[in-house]
Structure formats: C-alpha cells, structure tokens
C-alpha cells in the first residue's frame, strides 16, 4: 500500500501534478483540516444516514470509511457503537487528526483506488463526498470495487453533490478544486450498474458553516448488496 508523503512546497504553496486527482484532493483537505469538520458538523442528513446504518448492523460489524476525514462524525459514531472501522483518506493531515480524535478506529493514509479490497470483507461501506475529485470512470470503477468488498446483504451509504459536471473548476471553502459528478438519476444508474440496490435516497440543500461556504445540493444513496455475484 502506498504511503502518503509530506507535501512538496514552492513559495509556500503545494505543487501538485495537473492530472493527479488524489494529490489535488490531498492538497485541498490538508489545507482545510478541522475547518472541514466544523463546517459540516450541522449536517442532519449525514447523522440520519449513520442512524440508518446503526439500525442494520450486527454487533461488532466491520466497516470501511472511504474518505474518512477527521474521523468525526462517521468513525466516531460507529466505533462508539462497538463496530470496527477502517478509515482510508488521501490527506495526511486528515489521517493524523482522525487517529488522534478517534483512537478506537484504524486509519490509513492512501488513495482508495490503490488499496486492495478483498471481496465480501466488510459489512458496511461509507463514502461521504469522497469521489468528487475523481474522474467519472474512476468513480464508476471504484463503486463497483466497493460493492464487491461488501458481504452479500451488506449496506453502503454514498453521499455526493449531484451535478452534471466534469472537471469543473470551482472554489470550495476558499480552496480551488476541479469537481466531477453525475446528475442524480445517473448516480442511481451507476450504483445499479455496480450491483447495488438503491433502497432509498435523500436529497437536501446544505450550506457549510464557513465564510466562503454556499448552499449546495447533497444526495445520499442508501444501498444494499443483495447478490453474491457482481459485475467485474
């Protein structure tokens, strides 16, 4: 597994290769750190999705948290309920914060696209807003891999900003980003194509608590792997 390295700087700013989505994402979230956690702490939809998971998990379930951030609220909520959480995040700053804030979980600094995932090895997968700086092909491929990493009957919660944009230049809480996503109906089709049943979905509008935050649509997909054989 690739280990995250300290950022390279030039005149006080991180130098990131133009085509490296993972390094670009790491640069953004290294800069935001705890600011991100505070900005999204009021998200009722996020909390509701965790409650949905907790109502379906057997004691001591194994959970993969993709883009685990600071560890709060996802890993902290799930470990407090007695579950085993593995968080994977590309940002060294986020992993350091999460390790300190949620000592009962395990966190790895890595690009999830490069992490080997054994089929059926997790009871649940969470992916909260962690795909937005990946290409559409990478998003679709990763969702298939995450579905395969679920045991049959396992649950997956996927949250994103459902916009029909590709490599769109924007500013997120003061940080330059290049975002890619799908329209809501296309996201459902991508999940179905990965072998997931979308049990329900929730669409909300949320404004981060940040001076540069603005109202944005959020889509939460509640999914389940029902079949033993999934598309490759």
Q: Phi-psi region for residue 146, left (φ > 0), alpha (ψ -120 to 50) or beta?
A: alpha
| pLDDT mean over 148-177 | 95
pLDDT at 147: 97
CA distances for 147 relative to 30, 216, 230, angstroms: 28, 27, 8
Establish if 229 belongs to a structural domain: no
Tell me if 6 is assigned to some domain: no
Considering only residues 12 and 130, tell me which one the structure prediction assigns the higher pLDDT: 130
The residue assigned the tokens 């350091």 is: 96
Average pLDDT over residues 28-40: 92
Mean pLDDT, to the nearest integer, of 14-38?
75
Number of folded domains in the chain?
A: 1
Q: What is the CATH number of the domain that holds 165?
A: 3.40.50.150
Residue 8: pLDDT over 50: no
Q: What is the mean pLDDT of the chain?
A: 90
58 in a structural domain: yes
pLDDT tens digits along 67-122: 999 999 999 999 999 999 999 999 999 999 999 999 999 999 999 999 999 999 99
Tell me, yes or no, whether 95 lies in a domain. Answer: yes
For residue 171, being part of any structural domain is answered with yes
The verdict on residue 16 lying in a domain is: no
Domain extent for 156: 25-224
Classify residue 230: in a domain, yes or no.
Answer: no
Residue 15 lies in a domain: no
Q: How many residues does the chain have?
A: 232
Name the token pair of 77: 């909520």
* Residue found by looking up tokens 């505070």 in the block: 38
């Amino acid at each position: 597994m690739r280990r995250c390295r300290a950022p390279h700087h030039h005149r006080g700013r991180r130098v990131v290769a133009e085509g490296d989505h993972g390094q670009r994402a790491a640069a953004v979230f290294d800069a935001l750190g705890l600011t991100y956690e505070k900005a999204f702490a009021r998200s009722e939809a996020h909390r509701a999705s965790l409650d949905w998971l907790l109502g379906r998990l057997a004691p001591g379930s194994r959970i993969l948290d993709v883009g685990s951030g600071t560890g709060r609220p996802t890993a902290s909520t799930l470990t407090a309920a007695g579950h085993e959480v593995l968080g994977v995040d590309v940002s060294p700053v986020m992993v350091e914060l999460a390790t300190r804030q949620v000592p009962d979980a395990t966190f790895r600094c890595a690009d999830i696209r490069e992490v080997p995932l054994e089929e059926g090895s997790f009871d649940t997968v969470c992916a909260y807003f962690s795909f937005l700086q990946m290409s559409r092909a990478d998003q679709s491929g990763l969702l298939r891999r995450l579905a395969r990493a679920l045991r049959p009957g396992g649950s997956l919660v996927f949250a994103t900003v459902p916009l029909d944009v590709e490599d769109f230049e924007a500013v997120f809480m003061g940080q330059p980003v290049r975002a890619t996503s799908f329209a809501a109906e296309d996201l459902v089709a991508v999940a179905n194509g990965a072998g997931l049943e979308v049990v329900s979905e929730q669409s909300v509008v949320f404004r981060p608590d940040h001076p540069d935050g603005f109202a944005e649509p959020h889509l939460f997909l509640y999914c389940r792997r029902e079949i033993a054989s999934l598309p490759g």
